[in-house]
Structure 1
Amino acid sequence: MPLSNRIDTAIARAVARGAAAPAPDLLGRALDYATAPGGARIRPTILTSVALACGDDAPAVTDAAAAALELVHCASLVHDDLPCFDDADTRRGKPSVHRAFSQPLAVLAGDSLIVMAFETLASLPDDHAARAMRLSRHLARRTGMPGGICAGQGWESEPRIDLSAYHKAKTGSLFVAATQMGAIAAGQDPEPWEELGARIGEAFQVADDLRDAVMDEAALGKPAGQDGLHHRPNAVTELGLAGAAQRLRDILGGAIASIPSCPGEAMLAELVNRYARKLAPLQAMVEPGE
């Protein structure tokens, strides 16, 4: 089964289990709307790729971990789009959940997706209980306080923002979760995988800052210019367009060097290189003379 199909199947299975009848129909539809069709599924792809590189000796655990991680990510997008945060009308090229279903249902959908993520891990068979517990602990750490995505959103309400902590929490945390949870799913030590996740997360954040600065809503599939509108700290403000583009190149180069030794090391290097190639048009927009 292609990797994308494997991931989508795992996510659809988790959502279907969580919205099974009898259940409120509109909320069930909102859950499906928030998760499918998905975006690039970058985080669960990284998680599954790391598990495969480490042997993937328990595919059911890997699938549950990938689904749980993406459900938390989708929940964060639903909440981020709410009027009290970004007030975004669109996401992934279609109306955001609160626009399509109402603000109350969007809040409930986001909350339900987070709970569903941990239920997915808790539902693993007893013979995988130790891995399920470690996966749950890592996902919780990267979701809440003090350094998860909730903390990342919280920094935006502070009078002074620690830019490094903000980026690590808001964007980097789920990428670190992806690499470390992939290792755990395959029965490996997660600690050597933290740096790779942190570097990929930083690269994604810088790329997102560049897109927000130079692309329009039609190209992004969501509102553009949000960093300036909401006065959020970002790499473009700090480094300039050319400086942010150079920083992106440096991060991706370091990401490949940080891949731990494993049977699938070359495959992971190609995954990072493929992501770098996808970013080439963006960098060309920033530095057309390059």
Structure 2
Amino acid sequence: MPLTERIEAAISCAIARARAGRAPRQLSAALDYATAPGGARIRPTILLSVAMACGDDRPDVSDAAASALELIHCASLVHDDLPCFDDADIRRGKPSVHRAFSEPLAVLAGDSLIVLAFEVLARQAITDPARAARLMTALAERTGMPGGICAGQGWESEPEVDLAAYHRSKTGALFIAATEMGAIAAGHDPDNWRDLGALIGEAFQVADDLRDALLDETTLGKPVGQDALHGRPNAVAKLGVDGASKRLSDILAGAIASIPSCPGEADLARMVRKTAERIVPNVPATAGRA
């Protein structure tokens, strides 16, 4: 089964379970709305690509990990768009969840998706308790404090911001989770895969800063100019467009070079290059090791 189909099937299964029974109709609809259609699904694609590079001996565990990671990502988008944070009206080319359903339901939808992500992983403990426990720990570390996406959002309230720590938490954390969880799902050591996730995350953040500065709302599918509007630290403000573009190419070269030796190394390098092309059109993914 293609990766996209695996990811969508796993997410659909999780959402269907959450909507079963006598669940509140509006909140149930908000969960579906927040997760589908789901954009590029870059993080679960990376996770499954790493799992496959490591042998993918338990695809059921890998699929659960991929869906859990994407549920956390979707929850973070719902919360990011709230009036207390970005106050964004548009997400993925349609009204953000709080605009479509109300602010209270958006808060509940984000919270429900977070809980659902860990439920998905917990269910894997029946057949593989060791891997399930390690997956839950990895996802929790990259979601909360001190270095997860919650910490990344928290940096925006600080009077002085450590740009590297901010980017590593706000954007890099879930990419690190993707590579670590892909390895764990296939029974491998996640430590060897941390650098790859960190570098992909850093590249994605720089690319996001460039998109925010250079693209229009129709092209991007969400409000633009948000970094400047909210006074957030970003690579374009610090390095300029040319400097940020050069930095992006350097990071991508380092990401490919960091891929650990494994049976699927060449395929994984191609996936990283393809991901680079998706996040920033016309920005070449500089090759490292093939």
Normalised to the residue count of structure 2, the TM-score between the two structures is: 0.96
Question: In the alignment, what sits opposite 1:134?
Answer: 134
Query: How far is 1:278 from its partner?
Result: 3.4
CA distance, structure 2, for counterparts of residue 111 and residue 282 of structure 1: 37
CA distance, structure 2, for counterparts of residue 278 and residue 71 of structure 1: 21
Question: In the alignment, what sits opposite 1:31?
Answer: 31
Question: In the alignment, what sits opposite 1:164?
Answer: 164
Query: How far is 1:272 from its partner?
Result: 1.1
Question: In the alignment, what sits opposite 1:60?
Answer: 60
The answer to whether the Cα contact below 8 Å between 1:7 and 1:63 also exists between their aligned partners in 2 is yes
CA distance, structure 2, for counterparts of residue 88 and residue 281 of structure 1: 24
Question: In the alignment, what sits opposite 1:215?
Answer: 215
One-letter amino acid of the counterpart of residue 230, structure 1: H
Q: 1:244 to 1:272 in 2, by over 3 A?
A: same
Q: Does 1:143 align with 2:143?
A: yes
Q: Does 1:269 align with 2:275?
A: no
Query: How far is 1:109 from its partner?
Result: 0.1
One-letter amino acid of the counterpart of residue 51, structure 1: A
The answer to whether the Cα contact below 8 Å between 1:15 and 1:31 also exists between their aligned partners in 2 is yes
Give the gaps of 5 or more residues in structure 2. 285-290
Cα distance per residue 1:88-125 (max 9 Å; x no partner): 00000000000000000000000000000000000115
Q: Does 1:155 align with 2:152?
A: no
Q: Which runs of 4+ in 1 moved over 4 A?
A: none
The answer to whether the Cα contact below 8 Å between 2:125 and 2:131 also exists between their aligned partners in 1 is no
Cα distance per residue 1:245-276 (max 9 Å; x no partner): 00000000011100001110000000111123
Q: 1:279 to 1:142 in 2, by over 3 A?
A: closer
Correspondence 1:63-74 to 2 at 5 A: 63-74=63-74
One-letter amino acid of the counterpart of residue 84, structure 1: C
Query: How far is 1:281 from its partner?
Result: 3.3
Query: How far is 1:2 from its partner?
Result: 1.3
Correspondence 1:135-284 to 2 at 5 A: 135-278=135-278, 281=281, 283=283
CA distance, structure 1, for counterparts of residue 60 and residue 76 of structure 2: 25
CA distance, structure 2, for counterparts of residue 282 and residue 34 of structure 1: 29
CA distance, structure 2, for counterparts of residue 191 and residue 281 of structure 1: 31
CA distance, structure 1, for counterparts of residue 222 and residue 172 of structure 2: 20
Correspondence 1:74-93 to 2 at 5 A: 74-93=74-93
CA distance, structure 1, for counterparts of residue 278 and residue 180 of structure 2: 24
One-letter amino acid of the counterpart of residue 90, structure 1: I
The answer to whether the Cα contact below 8 Å between 1:68 and 1:118 also exists between their aligned partners in 2 is yes
Query: How far is 1:127 from its partner?
Result: 2.8
Query: How far is 1:18 from its partner?
Result: 1.4
One-letter amino acid of the counterpart of residue 159, structure 1: P
CA distance, structure 2, for counterparts of residue 106 and residue 280 of structure 1: 29
Give the gaps of 5 or more residues in structure 1. 285-290
The answer to whether the Cα contact below 8 Å between 1:211 and 1:282 also exists between their aligned partners in 2 is no
Q: Does 1:105 align with 2:105?
A: yes
Q: Percent identity?
A: 72
How many aligned positions are there? 284
Task: Say which SS state the counterpart of residue 218 (structure 2) adopts.
Answer: helix
Cα distance per residue 1:175-220 (max 9 Å; x no partner): 0000000000000000000000000000000000000000010000
Q: 1:159 to 1:103 in 2, by over 3 A?
A: same
Query: How far is 1:282 from its partner?
Result: 5.0
One-letter amino acid of the counterpart of residue 146, structure 1: P
Correspondence 1:12-27 to 2 at 5 A: 12-27=12-27
* Backbone CA RMSD of aligned residues: 1.1
One-letter amino acid of the counterpart of residue 5, structure 2: N
